[in-house]
Amino acid sequence: MANTTFNGPVRSENGFRTISKAAGTGAETVLWTSPAQLATGAATGITTGTGTVYKTGIARSGNIITTSILIDLTGLRSTASGDIIGVDGTSLACHIGQITAAESGTIIAGRITCFEAPTGGDPDIDLYSAVEATGTEDTAISTLDETQLVDSGDHTLGSEKILTAFPADEEYLYLVAGATTDADYTAGKLLIELIGTV
């Protein structure tokens, strides 16, 4: 196929994809996609928080996929150590998204960066994955089939926590209090980045 040059903006309602095509078989390999976000984002026990902001993005470059989750904790609540963080006093599910190999690749690295220190609720926020999507606020993460991905300690402005374990295909992510503070968050911005390969 010949090269095509555009003069002016190129628009697409469903994103762009760069592929390579094998000469012998015609098999296509996706090299880059944009924009994309998690197909299964946070549950309503996160997204219905007053002042809570939740955004996701997935970017692929070659064989590396970066999945990003940005969350402003305002309006969510921490309770006891080991309990799931979410909107207070509801039975709504509180996961912050599902990670699948089809979207994010096989996760081999990750980190949490703090862009605003958590206040109000407890600043010690750990990240877990679990098989189930049903975990609710003020419920022990241990009631799920779970894996701790990072034991964060307190998040402070500019802190970076490196994941020591990674979510398996189709698992859900949860924010979990690492210490006991029964209060609503009034601030706190965290960026979770997962690096996957294909």
Identify the weakest region by mean pLDDT among 27-31, 142-146, 162-166.
Answer: 27-31
Which residues, at least 6 apart from 131, have a Cβ–Cβ distance to it below 8 Å? 144, 145, 146, 170, 171, 172
pTM, to two decimals: 0.87
Domains and CATH numbers, the chain: 37-197 (2.60.120)
Give the model confidence (pLDDT) of 1-15 as tens digits. Answer: 567 777 777 777 766
Q: Is the predicted pLDDT of residue 180 greater than 80, yes or no?
A: yes
Identify the weakest region by mean pLDDT among 1-10, 59-68, 78-87, 166-175.
Answer: 1-10
Q: Is the predicted pLDDT of residue 195 greater than 70, yes or no?
A: yes
Give the model confidence (pLDDT) of 72-92 as tens digits. Answer: 999 999 999 999 999 999 999
